[in-house]
Amino acid sequence: MNTKHLSYISAIAEYGNLSAAARKLKISQPVLSRYLAKTEQELGLPLFCRLNQHYVLTQAGAIYLEGARKILDIQSETIHTFSRMTGSRLHRLSIGMTPHHGGRAMAYLYPQLIRQYPNLDLNIREAYSSEQLEALSKGEISLSLNFYMPELMPNVQVPVFGISSLLFALPAHHSMAKYGNTDFLHPAEMTKEQFLSITDIPFALYGPHTFSGQLIDQVFKHAGFSPVAVFHSDNVATISSMLASGLYAGFVLNMTNRKIPDMVYFRLSFLPSYYLAAGIFSKNHPSTEIERYAAYLHYQFLKQDSVYTPYTNEQMDSLIREFS
């Protein structure tokens, strides 16, 4: 089943221009351009709008791409089944991920992993941050999909591509809300003194099994701050729902949350930042190609909708060179 041409449209849609897509596909740009022109001629419809050399899917293009991806997924699953039947060597991959973030990430990663490694033996371990780190140190997983806090994560190797921070969220009816910003992407600044004055509202906070919860707990202790009352949960969705009720103040991760209605947002200058990571590896375990590829896909997934200041370390640069 020769379906390689279907990946051409997918690459153009992913990269937004012919030159980058051609480099990814390892073909010349003229070849890719001719294929696109021929396909559009056969269909009688344009698949892309050309906007200053940037290619954007038309409605017809989106339908074509969805169909192409379904065909590629079916092909990969079929090859995967045949490989198991013939006893071909398995490509083993063991990933740790949080319940909320993991589902969204895996929906993006899995189709591409199975296309690249048809005989994939994938083991997913859903666990919160501290449990993932323990499993990584014991060799029970080989890759953790999480953000990175150096002070809480020793003995790991981490390709990072950005710096971000927890945001403090207050209901819009609170007296301090007038200093905040409803724009999730541009939070207002809040001083330590202003924050310590907030003693009239309960907090909904991440639990002790999450690194966010551990970080916030450390900051509170260092600042000598004790909330009037606290609701704890390790689940990001639960925290978001509690904040959406308008009865609590709390913190949100701008790599996993979306704007919550009727809330204002602040950046706390005294709250440490964290790093966006493609993946977290153990220092005691040399990474395999499939593990690095999964981390690269996770990076591609996160950079689509995370809010961060770009920053890459040497490990991230190496990962990009290997798979771009």
CA 203 remoteness from chain centre = 26
Phi, psi of 269 (to 5 degrees): -65, -25
Locate 132 and state its tokens.
Answer: 């993932």
Locate 93 and state its tokens.
Answer: 């991959």
233 and 267 part of one domain: yes
**Residues constituting the chain:** 324
The range of the structural domain enclosing residue 56 comes to 1-68
Phi, psi of 253 (to 5 degrees): -90, 125
Instruction: Give 25's Cβ-side CA count (13 Å radius).
Output: 26
CA 120 remoteness from chain centre = 22
**Predicted confidence pLDDT, tens digits, the chain (324 residues):** 456 677 788 888 888 888 888 887 878 888 888 889 988 888 888 999 887 778 888 888 888 888 887 777 776 667 666 666 655 567 889 999 887 777 778 888 988 998 888 888 888 888 888 888 889 988 889 999 988 888 788 889 999 999 888 899 999 999 999 999 998 888 999 999 999 999 999 999 998 888 888 888 888 888 889 888 789 988 877 888 899 899 999 998 765 456 788 999 999 988 888 888 999 999 888 899 999 999 999 999 888 767 788 889 999 999 999 998
- CA 94, CA 106: separation in Å to the nearest integer? 12
115 and 205 part of one domain: no
Q: What is the DSSP letter of 281?
A: E
100 and 194 part of one domain: no
180 and 133 part of one domain: no
Q: Is residue 316 part of a domain?
A: yes
Locate 78 and state its tokens.
Answer: 């079929």
Q: Is residue 73 part of a domain?
A: no
Q: How far apart are the first and last CA of the chain?
A: 26
219 and 307 part of one domain: no
Locate 166 and state its tokens.
Answer: 């927890």
202 and 254 part of one domain: yes
Q: Is 298 exposed, middle or buried (0-12, 13-18, 19+ CB in 10 A)?
A: buried
188 and 236 part of one domain: yes
Question: How many domains does the chain contain in total?
Answer: 3
Q: Is residue 134 part of a domain?
A: yes
Q: Which of 68, 98, 113 is the last residue of a domain?
A: 68
DSSP 3-state assignment of 181?
Answer: strand
263 and 177 part of one domain: yes
Q: Is residue 22 part of a domain?
A: yes
Q: What is the CATH number of the domain that holds 176?
A: 3.40.190.10
Q: Is residue 30 part of a domain?
A: yes
Q: Is residue 76 part of a domain?
A: no
Give pTM, 2 decimals: 0.67
